[in-house]
Structure 1
Amino acid sequence: MADFLDSILGIDSDSLTWWQMSIRAVLVFIVALIIMRIGNKRIFGKQTAFDIVLGIIYGSVLSRAITGNSPFWPTLAAALVLVLLHRFLAFLAYNTEGFVGPFIKGNPVCLIRDGELKEDELRKHNLTENDLNEALRNGGVTSVREVKTAYLERSGEISIVKKDS
């Protein structure tokens, strides 16, 4: 059975046929979904730098399994290790105080407090007033004076809390 599977996947072949690569693609897709279920739901949900890095590396590793640029089974194992590493680091970030969480996920940054714009924070994070004004409009606010707080979140989005009327 193992020889048959190796033949279908082109394991010992120097070049892959279109159908071997297609079968690999289907198998990698199914295995990738299973591996992602072993991870957690937030892997590709929040889109923090932590999650984006995993997505880029994960896709790159799995593509090598499809195209035959790396050994098939070890490449799938590496993809599993990446997802388990992500899960472990997320666990550490959640369960430890101090350095780990902020290093992995970052910290939110206050851009506006009580209607006062923090221009030094905008400058430090390369945000223009136009960027901030866009976020304000998306939040249903027309003026900085209407904002209780605005934060540059760990995901890179700007969240806004309006002042009470």
Structure 2
Amino acid sequence: MEWTTLVEGAHLLIGTDSDTIAWWQMCIRAIVIFFYLLFLIRVGSRRIFGKNTSFDIVIGVMLGSILGRALTANSQFFPTIAASAALMLLHTFIARLSFHSPRIGHIVKGTEARLVDSGKILWDGLKRTSITEHDLMEGLRANGGLMEVDQVKAAFLERNGKISVIKRESQD
């Protein structure tokens, strides 16, 4: 089969112009993009939707935006697919670079912030991270089952935006 015949067949299936794309062509685009994105995530980096650091969220939003343009034919299909592959390669490269270089990891993903130390609220930490006392108490209840700050050995605002809690040893 000739190359031009394949290209013409692909254009017929997915459409080429946003003004003339049919509903069934958009459905085919949706199916192709679904399996393509599934492939990208499986081969590239599954962490995009698991870690929820700002680094991963930015990539996820960008991927959705780029592939959404391909779906609705606001951009050419194949260049958009190529751009999303380049974005996934960039994400994988930066994630691996961050793994090998903690300094790069801190720049790209940020660092945790201590909010409680030995039962005392660290007000500077709350102020620096824009966490209110109510947010902190919610995190203590949700993640440590604790009602009082004096029950906490340490609490951190993690890079993914969640509060983690280390309980104090019981003093029986």
Report the TM range for the smaller structure's normalisation: over 0.9
Partner of 1:16: 21
| Correspondence for 1:112 among 100, 116, 136 | 116
Higher helix share: 2
3-state SS in 2 of match to 1:69 = coil
Partner of 1:59: 64
| Correspondence for 1:123 among 121, 127, 131 | 127
Equivalent-residue separation in structure 1 for 2:130 and 2:16 (angstroms): 49
| Correspondence for 1:133 among 118, 137, 141 | 137
In the TM superposition, what whole-angstrom CA distance separates every residue of 1:100-122 from its partner, at most 9, and x where no partner exists?
11011110000011111101111
Deviation at 1:41, TM superposition (A): 2.1
Deviation at 1:43, TM superposition (A): 1.5
| Correspondence for 1:25 among 24, 30, 41 | 30
Partner of 1:46: 51
Equivalent-residue separation in structure 1 for 2:161 and 2:145 (angstroms): 19
| TM-score for the superposition, normalised by structure 1 | 0.95
Which stretches in structure 1 are left out of the alignment for 5+ residues?
none
Aligned residue pairs total: 164
In the TM superposition, what whole-angstrom CA distance separates every residue of 1:49-94 from its partner, at most 9, and x where no partner exists?
0010001100000011111111110100111111111000001111
In the TM superposition, what whole-angstrom CA distance separates every residue of 1:24-44 from its partner, at most 9, and x where no partner exists?
111111111111112122121
- Identity among equivalent positions (%) equals 45
C-alpha contact (below 8 Å) 1:6/1:12 kept by paired residues: no
Deviation at 1:136, TM superposition (A): 1.1
Which stretches in structure 2 are left out of the alignment for 5+ residues?
1-5
Deviation at 1:12, TM superposition (A): 5.7
